[in-house]
Amino acid sequence: MDLKSKINLEKLPRHIAVIMDGNGRWAKEHGMPRVFGHRNGVKAVRETTEACTELGVKYLTLYAFSTENWNRPEAEVSALMTLLVETIKKEIKTLNENGVRLQAIGDLSRLPEKSRKTLLQAMEDTKQNPRMTLVLALNYSAKWEIVEAARKLAKAAKSGEIEPADIDDEAFSNALSTAGIPDPELLIRTSGENRISNFLLWQIAYAELYFTPTLWPDFRREHLYQAILDFQNRERRFGKTSEQLV
Ligand code: FPP
């Protein structure tokens, strides 16, 4: 039986988040510059998005550029930004045809003007699409996001808009850039690294973590199916005992 037909569509993760890692190593293995790895990573982005849409996963978040990625060589940063603009422009028609809404999280103000404009336009042009939401994390880091949320809430408390006691789990979630998006239930990281690297720290409190040695440019729908099947075979207890779940 093929992997896809083994998936229980009633128990799909509503939100999958992915740390796309290994583009540089993949390029090196092919004797090519790092940018070649990023270019091939776009194929994996396309395939993962398609597969999630077809299955009925409602949210897919991809870690495309972290706040720490600015420290990479200037040429690589610039190539990544160009790739982002090119990809969005090229894929917008397909996103609309497939009912995919594009959103972004992160400090977009620091993105080059052209990248930001293209991104905001694409978000506007796809905002009515109902089937799936593709969230790109760009110039994103979880610590940055948590500090921003704390500032926002502190300001609201100082101005008397809210009481400090009003700040609870829900209020904090609503102050994050992912407000309105359900927390990821499955987090995938490729390339054999077993780290979270400052990604969605608040939101993954109860996510199942799935690490695969596959390098991101090699990641295909079969790898995604495997991750979902692994997720479906786990017992999610949320602090309860196994017996309580029965
Ligand atoms: C990590 O691999 C990958 C990135 C920092 C960038 C990911 C970007 C893409 C896949 C292309 C564009 C994406 C979209 C959404 C259009 P790495 O460079 O850290 O690899 P390494 O650890 O092997 O060096």
- Mean local confidence (pLDDT), 173-202: 98
Give the chain's radius of gyration (CA, Å): 19
The mean pLDDT value for 123-145 works out to: 97
- Structure confidence at residue 242 (pLDDT): 81
Pairwise CA distance, residues 89 & 44, whole Å: 17
pLDDT, the chain, mean: 96
Task: Provide the pLDDT confidence category of residue 33 given band limits of 50, 70 and 90.
Answer: very high
Q: Phi and psi dihedrals of 106, rounded to 5?
A: 125, 175
Residue spans per domain, the chain: 13-232
Read off the DSSP letter of residue 73.
Answer: -
Q: Is 230 a catalytic residue?
A: no
Residue 1: predicted pLDDT: 65
Q: Provide the 10 A C-beta neighbour count for residue 118.
A: 20
pTM: 0.95
Q: Is 199 exposed, middle or buried (0-12, 13-18, 19+ CB in 10 A)?
A: buried
Q: Give me ligand 1 centre to Cα 64, in Å.
A: 6
> May I ask the CATH architecture of the domain 13-232?
3-Layer(aba) Sandwich (3.40)
Closest Cα to atom 22 of ligand 1: 22
pLDDT value of residue 246? 72
Which of 18, 30, 35, 38 has most ligand 1 atoms within 8 Å of its beta carbon, as the pocket-test mutant? 38
Cα 200 from Cα 192, distance rounded (Å): 19
User: Which residues does ligand 1 sit against, CB inside 6 Å?
Assistant: 20-25, 38, 41-42, 45, 62, 64, 69, 80, 83-84, 87, 136, 216
pLDDT digits (tens, 9 = 90+) for 51-69: 999 999 999 999 999 999 9
pLDDT tens across 195-221, in order?
A: 999 999 999 999 999 999 999 999 999
Distance CA 164, CA 6 (A): 48
Mean pLDDT of 238-242: 82
Q: How far is the CA of 163 from the centre of ligand 1 (A)?
A: 42
